[in-house]
Chains A and B, each alone.
Chain A
Amino acid sequence: MYGIGVLKGMAVTLKNFLRPSFTVQYPEESLPQHPRFRGQDFVWYEERCTGCASCAKYCPLGIIRIVTDPSGVATPQGDKYKVLAFDIDLGRCMYCGLCVEGCPYDALHMGSGFERARYRRQELVIPVEELRRMPKRPSTWFRPQMETKGYDPRMGKELPWQEAGRHEAPDVEKMKERWVKER
């Protein structure tokens, strides 16, 4: 007997017809991202960065270019290299976040936006000047201290570097002890 299965299928469609719609009209409204969302607008705190280039070393694609000069002063750490260039090529970035994971000073964070489309590839490279003045709305990816504080980049509030916190503050004495023991 044909037709019963089709009617049952139509019953399913009718049930779904009465359910609220789950799609949104994107440019007018957009779905919220989780605070951990690994977005495009990288957040970089120059005060913390020492120019160690760990991020460039951790990057699987090698798309971070850092040029330093030994004359800068990092506010929390003291001596540091002055960062002359810190270019991130977003055209090749795959947003894996390993650079953020590698940063020993919690200076680099993933961003929270996803609308950084450009017409030219050259414009996809974030130069250091842009990185300096970009809004500091970091993603909480790999930064559990922000999660415990309840920071949410979607609220639109910028996070200054003093409040970003460190996920494990290295104890100088302990590090010295470990260093002595290992040699």
Chain B
Amino acid sequence: MTLRTEPVTVNIGPQHPSTHGVFRLRVTFDGEVIQEVEPVFGYLHRGSEKLAEERTYSQVITLTDRLDYVASMTNNQAYVLALEKLCHVQPAERGLYLRVIAAELQRIASHLVATGFLLQDLGAFGTPLMYCFRERERILDMFEMLCGARITHSYLRIGGVFQDAPEEFWPALRIFLHDMPPYIDEYEQLLAENEILVARTKGVGLLSQEMAIASSTSGPVLRASGVPWDLRKADPYEVYDRFDFDIPVGTAGDSYDRFIVRIQEMRQSLRIVQQAVDQLPGGTSVGKVPVRAKVPFFIRPPVGDAYAHVEAPKGELGFYLVSDGSIAPYRCKIRSPSFINLTPLKEMLIGWKLADLVVILGSIDINMGEVDR
């Protein structure tokens, strides 16, 4: 005679450290093994899209800072690009290069957070996270030089950036570019060669190439599954077609690959920043070349709509703007990468154990500010 066993349903979150925000998962376990997953969002919903309809176009830039709050620069970039498309504004050349430098530094900062928190989730409490945050701190210091804020930048404006970089930014950037590669090697050494970490991430949370494409994932999650899709190459925006860089791709599509892809992307970002500094019109002199096209603050775009997307650190971030000719957007739709990257969550989680859930969720690198908007 066999005894019937009951599956147990457990709520993980919304206050759970491994969920990277207020993300709730209702998980049904058969003993230790995950049987059924039901994600519950909305705990951080602030109605950004609706709020945008009540702000003027320039004021919405401050709202976009709060979507993915560890990568505000790319949020600004996506919104500003959509707005420039809508208004047919030609941005200043130097402003575009400054945007690229800022966006790539932001990508490094965001990937550092992802790497640090993966190691934290795996039990290496504190130490590796502090290593990653040490370098992130330097990037944030540089952002403070650029725009006076560390997290909520609002640096980009329609037609360029709000102000030229100060003098002391360029030496700081040069030292950073010189110091960073050995640090990235260190993270790789910590990450890739540790047997415990390899045992816990290799082959865990598999996402096949077909499934990754079918569930329209983007960013490192998609590239780790072996799809070389990067909007900077596939649909070059701004001045990305002038730089020489590679798209790192994984092979297996497991948690390990997703992190190796992120580490390699940091190296590529450093390459792009270096090239952008070399090609920068006006060089490192301050205030000689305009960084911002002359655009009124209360801009009235012609009636119409525009969609622009950028390769944010977490994937494709898109803004769809509809204008009715007034000073405020009629509709502002945000396609956020973290939200859509959660689509294959069920496929990735079912069959794995509770301890793997933390790793898999960490490897997708979600940000709740962006998921709930």
Contacts and interface: CB of A to CB of B under 8 A. Distances in A.
Interface of A: 2-6, 8-9, 11-13, 15-16, 22-23, 33-34, 36-38, 58, 60, 94-98, 101-102, 110, 139, 141-142, 144, 147-148
Given A4-B193, A5-B198, A9-B194, A94 B62 contact: yes
A4 B134 CA distance: 26
A2 B162 CA distance: 53
Given A12-B186, A98-B58, A98-B62, A38 B149 contact: yes
Contact of A144 (B63, B65, B145, B287): B287
Given A5-B193, A96-B152, A139-B148, 5 more contacts: A13-B127, A94-B152, A97-B148, A102-B297, A141-B148
Contacts of A2: 195
A62 B68 CA distance: 24
Nearest to B187: A12
A6 B194 contact: yes
B28 interface: no
28 contacts: A5-B198, A6-B194, A6-B195, A8-B193, A11-B189, A12-B186, A12-B189, A15-B186, A16-B131, A23-B130, A36-B146, A37-B144, A37-B148, A38-B148, A58-B59, A58-B297, A94-B62, A95-B152, A96-B62, A96-B152, A97-B154, A98-B58, A98-B59, A102-B297, A141-B147, A141-B148, A147-B166, A147-B286
Contacts of A8: 189, 193-194
B206 to A, nearest CB: 23
Contacts of B137: 22
A101 B137 CA distance: 27
Contact residues of B: prevailing secondary structure = helix
B216 interface: no
B271 interface: no
B305 to A, nearest CB: 23
Nearest to A148: B287
Interface in B98-156: 127, 130-131, 134, 137, 141, 144-149, 152, 154
A34 B297 CA distance: 26
Nearest to B127: A13
A5 B195 contact: yes
Nearest to A39: B148
Interface string B45-76: 00000000001001101110100000000000
B189 A60 contact: no
B87 to A, nearest CB: 18
B343 interface: no
Contacts of B134: 22
Contacts of B145: 34, 36
B163 interface: yes
A36 B148 contact: yes
A110 B148 contact: yes
B289 interface: no
Contacts of A22: 134, 137
A147 B33 CA distance: 60
Contacts of B194: 5-6, 8-9
B190 A36 contact: no
B149 A95 contact: yes
B296 to A, nearest CB: 12
A13 B286 CA distance: 40
A33 B168 CA distance: 13
Contacts of A96: 61-62, 65, 152, 154
Nearest to B152: A94
Contacts of A95: 149, 152
B175 interface: no
Contact of B163 (A12, A144, A148): A144
B234 interface: no
A34 B62 contact: no
Contacts of A110: 148
B196 interface: yes
A60 B297 contact: no
A149 B64 CA distance: 33
Contacts of B168: 34
Closest 4 CB pairs of A and B: A60-B59, A38-B148, A36-B148, A96-B62
Contacts of A94: 62, 152
Contact of B196 (A6, A13, A60): A6
Interface in B313-345: none
